[in-house]
Amino acid sequence: TGAQVYANCQGCHGPQGEGNPPLFPPLRGHVAKLLGAEGGRNYLLQVVLYGLQGEIQVEGQAYNQVMPGFAWLPDEDVALVLNHLLTFGAPEGLRPYTPEEVKAARAKPLTPEEVHALRQGLRLP
C-alpha cells in the first residue's frame, strides 16, 4: 500500500507528513499547493524519483538540505507513494498517478539540482 511505501519517507517528513522544520519540510497540507500550480504534478513525481537539492521556502520557512531520490523503487511503488501524498491534501478532481506515468519519467533522469530548477519555475501561491 501507499502507507507501506511511505515508510521510506516518514523518518524525515514524519508519519503524518508534519515535517521537521527547519530540516525537513512538511508535506501534509503543503503538497496541495504544489499540485495546484501548473507543472506541479510533474514536479512532485520528479522529486520522488530524483530527489531535491537547493533552497526552498515552505510556509515561510527556508529549507536547504538534500533529499535522496527513490528511483530504485519499482514504478508501482512510486505511484503508490505519490497517491499516498494525495491523502495529505490535494486539489479536487486530481487523477491518481499511474505506474505508466512513472515509467515515462524515467526516460529523462534529472539531477536533484535540476529538480530544484523545475520547482523555481512553478508559480506557487
> Minimal distance in Å, beta carbon 95 to ligand HEM?
18
Alpha-carbon gap, residue 88 to 100, rounded angstroms: 23
**Backbone angles phi and psi of 70, in degrees to 5:** -120, 35
Residue nearest ligand HEM by beta-carbon distance? 9
The single residue among 24, 50, 88, 97 that binds ligand HEM, judged by CB under 6 A, is 24
C-alpha cell at 26: 512538511
Site for ligand HEM in 47-106 (CB under 6 A): 47-48, 52-54, 56, 58, 63-65, 67-68, 70, 81, 85
Alpha-carbon gap, residue 94 to 125, rounded angstroms: 18
Q: Does 44 help bind ligand HEM (rule: CB under 6 A)?
A: yes
> Minimal distance in Å, beta carbon 50 to ligand HEM?
11
For every residue of 87-124, DSSP letters joined together read TT---TTPPPP-HHHHHHHTTS---HHHHHHHHHTS--
Residues that bind ligand HEM (CB under 6 A): 8-9, 11-13, 24-25, 27, 34, 44, 47-48, 52-54, 56, 58, 63-65, 67-68, 70, 81, 85, 119
